[in-house]
Amino acid sequence: MNRIVLAAALCLAASAAVAADTAPIAPPKCGQEPKTPGSTMRNEDMVMKRFNEAVKTYGDCMKAYIADRQADMKANQAAANGAIADYNAVIKRLNEEAKEE
């Protein structure tokens, strides 16, 4: 039984140490949000062309940022699932060993 408590304490200490080392997540660096041209400027083709390009550039940047964050989340989830499987295997082994004694 002491082994189980020790194993659980070690797992908690290790996860706390990892959490303390986690770097903050940087916000997106997509520049300023596009500003809608005033009503009189919306009739100008060049103004609207620049506005539409700015919206596309901003949108592409944000979509790339989101895709990167989602990939990071997926990798983190896989790592967490691996740690859970390892932990469960260790606890199962410890419990089986304790039964044999």
Q: Say which residue the tokens 């896989």 belong to.
A: 78
Question: Residue 75: how many CA atoms within 13 Å on its side-chain side?
Answer: 6
Mean pLDDT, the chain, integer: 87
Residue 53 half-sphere exposure toward CB, CA atoms < 13 A: 6
Burial track 17-29 (b if 16+ CB lie within 10 A, e otherwise): eeeeeeeeeeeee
The per-residue pLDDT for 101 is 72
Q: State the pTM of this model.
A: 0.65
Tell me how many domains the chain contains: 1
What pLDDT score was predicted for residue 8?
63
Q: Which domain, by its residues, includes 11?
A: 2-100
pLDDT the model gives residue 78: 97
Q: Can you count the helices (H) and strands (E) in the chain?
A: 2, 0
What is the structure's pLDDT at 4?
Answer: 65
Task: Say what the pLDDT of residue 41 is.
Answer: 92
Q: Structure tokens of 43?
A: 């009739």
Mean pLDDT per 10-residue section of the chain, whose length is 101 residues: 60 59 89 93 94 97 98 96 97 93 72
